[in-house]
Homo-oligomer: A and B are copies of this chain.
């Protein structure tokens, strides 16, 4: 019996034998009483150490720029932080707004402003979305669970659209937005997407920019969370959507977001957004009611430490050196344990924080449950889809960065064993 042959072509006896072997390994791991977490895209301790030098700014002079950054003021950030994020997001300084520590919070606030004040395409406010009987967002899936959670919390109906190798299914999107003026937005993680590691093609970017939407106040939420988060020297290239939108005659259509959460310190980083100057001017005005301004001292720390794009890229290469081996371990093990069995497929990302594993239909939830019983926490099955419902119950998001290589080694073994056992169960049940 070739252990690496396609399970679907094995007879039931062979499958039962394989199951027994897997079960034996599963039970052995279970006896170890492990506690391994591959659930969230968290940097590991060694990655955090990379940014400790940032804290060396301790003198008054370190925090005095155009003004004394230790005092009030500056609604949209200090010039050096704007410059840095203008480079990351490929926008101009005046199109950038620096926020607090959370880009998710900036996305949330942007939607809340649309709900309360509305948006138009002349740099002003419009019909508040909360006054409308229905507001819908397009959610390319699998995608980022926290995007979907914002929609669910704010009563925005989600329409699932499939992710292809080139990005979201643009044919479907073009059809949807042309006819339905309650569709007000789309979530995108356009580079090294969460969880599939897909980078949108130039054609996808152009088609998003050119979309003919029935809603005049349609907005693209462009969460460029992994803009500089490459795993090797081979960098995916993402077309500039801000420029594409301008070229297509929809300059105010897109909001871009990024943060240093996975560059310096998650939770103690700096977040930013970019959008047309008209949009940005409106947001600056609206923000002035909400706060006196974000933390300029932390911005200054970041601007000094990360410097320009060349310095930033060198810093990110140090991250890659720490996490690329983890991605390799997972991918190698998936290949050796699941390759050729006909029971799973996965992506090989060039950047980002995840590996997306697709099991046979109807198996993901059971795999996650089995793994959990063996001490391995995975992102909940379905989490990568709107309302937590994976229509094919097959997608599992693997987050390899946080555990040590030794922990990962065990965790991925257990995951593969659980996929094998669940698949055999399913194949046998279907016979």
Residues of A that sit less than 8 Å from B by CB: 40, 42-43, 45, 48-49, 52, 55-60, 68-74, 100-102, 104-105, 108, 112, 115-116, 128, 130, 146, 149-150, 153-154, 261, 265-268, 286, 289-298
Contact = CB atoms under 8 A, between A and B. Distances in A.
B292 A295 contact: no
B57 A55 contact: yes
Contact of A108 (B73, B291, B297): B291
Nearest to A59: B52
Given A101-B295, A150-B289, A289-B150, A266 B71 contact: yes
Which of A40, A69, A289, A290 lies at the interface centre, i.e. has the most chain B CB atoms within 10 A of its CB?
A290
11 contacts: A48-B70, A56-B58, A69-B267, A70-B268, A71-B267, A72-B267, A108-B290, A150-B289, A266-B292, A267-B295, A268-B296
A142 to B, nearest CB: 19
A219 to B, nearest CB: 18
Contact of A58 (B40, B58, B104, B261): B58
A265 B297 contact: yes
Nearest to A48: B70
A289 B55 contact: no
Copies of this chain, complex-wide, total 2
B104 A292 contact: yes
Contacts of A291: 102, 104-105, 108
Contacts of A72: 40, 42, 261, 266-267
Given A48-B60, A100-B100, A268-B298, 18 more contacts: A42-B72, A49-B60, A52-B60, A69-B267, A70-B267, A70-B268, A71-B267, A72-B266, A73-B267, A100-B101, A101-B294, A102-B291, A108-B289, A116-B130, A128-B130, A153-B289, A295-B298, A298-B298
Contacts of A68: 45, 48
A16 B56 CA distance: 62
Contact of A116 (B69, B112, B292, B296): B112
A184 to B, nearest CB: 16
B268 A295 contact: yes
Interchain residue pairs A-B with the least CB separation, the first 6:
A268-B297, A153-B289, A72-B266, A105-B291, A55-B58, A102-B291
Contacts of A293: 102, 267
A265 B130 contact: no
A266 B73 CA distance: 9
A43 B58 contact: no
A185 to B, nearest CB: 16
A106 to B, nearest CB: 9
A101 to B, nearest CB: 5
A124 to B, nearest CB: 14
Contact of A105 (B71, B101, B290): B290
A149 B287 CA distance: 11
Question: Most chain-B Cβ atoms within 10 A of its Cβ — which of A45, A57, A101, A153?
Answer: A101
Nearest to A106: B291
A228 to B, nearest CB: 19
